[in-house]
């Protein structure tokens, strides 16, 4: 126990570049590619597994006596507190928002593509007044399914299970398990309608229109507002602009595009493709965001990465990275 606390403190103080190395060296942790652990963050558990591109942001503290698994491309944001005697298992493509608190005295499990909004609290142990004087104690794990979104400030009680494809509205207090495919809110939280009642049916043409809206908002929010670009050309299914001395063209490839009509980049410009072409495989080396399969290449190009992060942050599109 003393050694674990010393290692916890050491990892807390180390610069981010050395934290994954220290976890491998001293804790036999399984660490994937491009894992990041931020400044004044620390991770300690009996078993540690961090998948490819997993991230623990600055100021987050994770101290478990059980197993800790953070899946591929999953992120725990800043200033979270996670502690307890049992396990925490988080699947791929998940997100834990800033200032969340997760008590893991009993196991907490989260499925694929699920998220907890900022300041959400998860408890598996509820007590303070003495059990021997007749007061209650609740000790039970929490399970969160796949495609679950708990918005900001949700409170999950011990023993609850949230079914797949469920949305829990902000500031809800979940005291009982929730069936799959539900939209819930309130204190105590209750089902107000099925997910199918609010989820749109997306045809290929509707996806094309949605991607056109994404490009418009990317130009307005990132290129103009954040980066200060003033010469963004808005053309049908494309944006054109100069960034860091280079001309960029972002090309939307709608579902009706013929593979023969896909433009090739010239020597003095960089093309970024945003495509809704389910059956098309792009040639190697192209900057290609596959909106149909939510797949993207690993790239350091600043515009490509900015578009990918924008779509993740504002539109919930978490692309699976591939080499």
> What does the block give as tokens for 71?
């899946």
At 127, the pLDDT band (50, 70, 90 cuts) reads: confident
At 263, the pLDDT band (50, 70, 90 cuts) reads: confident
Cα distance between residue 227 and residue 215, in whole Å: 15
pLDDT at 7 > cutoff 80: yes
pLDDT value at residue 76? 98
Cα–Cα distances (Å) from 148 to 3, 80, 128, 144, in that order, read 37, 19, 30, 7
Segment 136-193, tens digit of pLDDT: 899 999 999 999 999 999 999 999 999 999 999 999 999 999 999 999 999 999 999 9
In three-state form (DSSP H/G/I as H, E/B as E, the rest C), the secondary structure along 12-39 is: HHCCHHHHHHHHHHHHCCEECCCCEECC
pLDDT value at residue 145? 98
At 1, the pLDDT band (50, 70, 90 cuts) reads: low
pLDDT (average), residues 217-229: 97
Looking at the chain, the number of H-run helices and the number of E-run strands are 4, 32
DSSP string, 191-226: EEEEGGGTSPP--HHHHHHHHHHHHHHHIIIIIIII
3-class secondary structure, 101? strand
Cα distance between residue 61 and residue 44, in whole Å: 9
At 278, the pLDDT band (50, 70, 90 cuts) reads: confident
pLDDT value at residue 117? 98
pLDDT (average), residues 308-317: 96
pLDDT value at residue 49? 98
Bond prior to 188 in cis (omega within 30° of 0): yes
Phi-psi label, residue 157: left if phi above 0, alpha if psi -120 to 50, beta otherwise:
beta
Q: Which domains does the chain have, with CATH numbers?
A: 2-196 (2.160.10.10), 204-322 (no CATH)
Taking the CA atoms of residue 223, residue 225, residue 228 and residue 234 in that order, the dihedral angle to the nearest 10 degrees is 40
CB 220 within 8 A of CB 227: no
Cα distance between residue 99 and residue 212, in whole Å: 34
């Amino acid at each position: 126990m003393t050694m674990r606390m010393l290692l916890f403190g050491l990892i807390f103080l180390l610069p981010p570049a050395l934290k994954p190395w220290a976890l491998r060296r001293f804790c036999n942790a399984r660490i994937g590619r491009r894992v990041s652990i931020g400044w004044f963050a620390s991770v300690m558990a009996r078993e540690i597994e961090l998948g490819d591109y997993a991230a623990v942001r600055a100021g987050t503290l994770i101290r478990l006596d059980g197993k800790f698994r953070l899946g591929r491309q999953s992120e725990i944001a800043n200033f979270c507190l996670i502690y307890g005697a049992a396990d925490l298992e988080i699947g791929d493509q998940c997100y834990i928002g800033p200032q969340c608190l997760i008590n893991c005295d009993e196991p907490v499990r989260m499925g694929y593509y699920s998220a907890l909004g900022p300041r959400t609290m998860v408890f598996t142990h509820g007590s303070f007044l003495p059990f021997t004087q007749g007061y209650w104690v609740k000790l039970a794990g929490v399970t969160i399914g796949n495609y679950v979104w708990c918005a900001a400030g949700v409170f999950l009680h011990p023993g609850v299970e949230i079914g797949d494809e469920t949305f829990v509205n902000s500031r809800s207090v979940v005291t009982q398990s929730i069936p799959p495919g539900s939209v819930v809110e309130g204190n105590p939280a209750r089902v107000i309608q099925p997910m199918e009642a609010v989820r749109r049916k997306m045809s290929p043409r509707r996806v094309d229109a949605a991607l056109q809206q994404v490009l418009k908002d990317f130009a307005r929010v990132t290129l103009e507002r954040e980066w200060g670009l003033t010469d963004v050309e808005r053309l049908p299914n494309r944006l054109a602009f100069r960034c860091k001395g280079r001309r960029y063209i972002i090309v939307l490839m709608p579902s009706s595009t013929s593979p023969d009509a896909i433009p090739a980049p010239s020597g003095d410009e960089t093309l970024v493709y945003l495509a809704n072409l389910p059956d098309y495989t792009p040639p190697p080396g192209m900057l290609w965001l596959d909106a149909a399969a939510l797949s993207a290449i690993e790239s350091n190009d600043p515009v490509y990465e900015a578009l990918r992060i924008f779509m993740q942050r504002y539109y919930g599109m978490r692309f699976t990275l591939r080499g």
